[in-house]
Structure 1
Amino acid sequence: MALFFDAEWFDARLGERGLSRGVLAAAAAMSAADLALAFKDQRELSAGEVAAFAELLGVEAGEVASRAGVSTPLPGQSGADTRIAALERRVAALEAEVARLRGG
């Protein structure tokens, strides 16, 4: 599994289908800015976004989740897995804020 968002993999899948990142964002009801954050590994995908990406790219949701990062929830996840994923997103957001404050 990927530890971080695998932008090259997503771009390759989009290229194979003749699609752009804009189409990917629209399919997942995301703004271009939100998609850009995901591609820079600064925003996690929701379960719905994972499902939308998978449908558009013609791959399993688990593959999208794996390529988007290990803490990305799969569609239908609930309970402890969802709470852990939420905590991991909060930690990632805090780490990003610390890096921003340090100028990195």
Structure 2
Amino acid sequence: MALFFDKDWFDSRLADRGLSRAVLAAVAGIGEDDLALVWKDQRELSAAEVAAFAELLGVTGAEVALHAGISTPTPGADPLSRIAELERRVTALETELARLARTRS
């Protein structure tokens, strides 16, 4: 387990998928300011955020937790909470897409 947040590992995974930190923040349901705090190791991730990062990056929650710092929780496998979390993330993505569409108009 990483003692501190491994920003290089996360940036590399994002680059491999052609994604930005803004997309990661939207999927996790957090603001870009909060994500910046995570990158500076000044804010811990919740289990739900770990799960969101893992799905977007195509890795396991355990792998995200391994690189996210010493006290990062690994998400559980409760299917009902997973469905609720997925619905929340879809809403966040739709909101982000609408915002991007407005800025391009």
TM-score (norm 2): 0.71
Letter in 2 for 1:26: A
What is the total number of aligned residue pairs between the two structures? 77
The CA deviation at 1:70 is: 1.9
Percent identical among aligned pairs is 70
2:18 is the counterpart of 1:18 = yes
Aligned letter for 2:67? R
Who is 1:76 aligned against?
Answer: 76
Q: Which runs of 5+ in 2 are unaligned?
A: 78-105
Superposed displacement of residue 76, structure 1: 2.0
Aligned to 1:58: 58
CA distance in 1, matches of 2:27, 2:72: 18
Give the aligned residue type for 1:46.
Answer: S
Which amino acid counterpart does residue 58 of structure 2 have in structure 1?
G
- Report the RMSD for the aligned CA atoms in angstroms: 1.1
Secondary structure of 1:22 counterpart:
helix
- Runs of 4+ aligned residues of structure 1 deviating over 2 Å after TM superposition are none
- Aligned to 2:44, the other structure's residue is in SS state coil
Q: Which consecutive unaligned segments of at least 5 residues does structure 1 have?
A: 78-104
Paired position in structure 2 for 1:38: 38
Give CA-to-partner distance per residue, 1:56-92, whole Å, 9 cap, x none: 0000100100100121111129xxxxxxxxxxxxxxx
Between the aligned partners of 2:3 and 2:50, the Cα distance in structure 1 is 16
Q: How far apart are the structure 1 equivalents of 2:46 and 2:32?
A: 15
What is the distance in 2 between the residues matched to 1:76 and 1:17?
25
Residues 17-49 of structure 1 show CA distances to partners (whole Å, capped at 9, x for unaligned) of 000000000000010000000000000000000
The residue that corresponds to 1:90 in the other structure is none
Structure 1 CA distance for aligned equivalents of residues 76 and 61 of structure 2: 11
Distance in 2, matches of 1:10 and 1:75, equals 18
